[in-house]
Amino acid sequence: MDSISLKKKLSKFDVHWSPKLIGELNGQYVKLAKGVGELVWHAHAEEDEFFLVLAGRLHPHFRDRVTILNPGECCIVPRGVEHKPVAEGEVQVLLFEPKSTRYTGDHDGEQTVAVDDQDWI
C-alpha cells in the first residue's frame, strides 16, 4: 500500500493517446494518459468511462454538445455514448475503466491500443 506519485508516473512517458496502467481495483484499471489534438470518435457498448483532468484542458465532444474539463474536473461518459476527446495543447488525464475496456471502444484504427498492449508504468 505504497503511495503512487502521479507526477512521477506521468514523467515516465511522452506518447499521446496511449494509456498507461498504474493500478487496479474491483475489476478496473487505473490509468494515466496524455493527449494532444483529437482521439477518434468511439463508444463503449458495455463500459462507462471516468475522466479526471490533472493538467491541461480536455474537451470531450459528444454528438449534441462539447463539455470543457479543466484541471480538477471530471466527467463520466455513460456506456454506449459516442464521444471524441479533444485536447488543446497537452492534457493529462486519470482514467478508471473496467479491465476489458478497449481504449477506442468500437473503433479500430491507428489510435487503437489493445487491452493487452497497455503498459504498466
DSSP 116: G
Question: Is residue 117 in a domain?
Answer: no
- DSSP sequence for 69-94: B-TT-EEEE-TT--EEEEEEEEEEEE
- The pLDDT, as a whole number, for residue 88 is 86
Structural domains counted in the chain: 1
By C-alpha distance, which of 55, 18, 65, 23 is closest to 39? 18
Question: Is residue 15 in a domain?
Answer: no
* pLDDT tens per residue across span 79-106: 999 999 999 899 999 999 888 766 555 5
The CATH number given to whatever domain includes residue 77 is 2.60.120.10
C-alpha 59/C-alpha 120 separation (Å) is 26
Residue 117 has pLDDT above 80, yes or no: no
The domain in which residue 48 lies consists of 32-100
- The pLDDT, as a whole number, for residue 26 is 93
Question: Is residue 57 in a domain?
Answer: yes
- Total-model pTM: 0.86
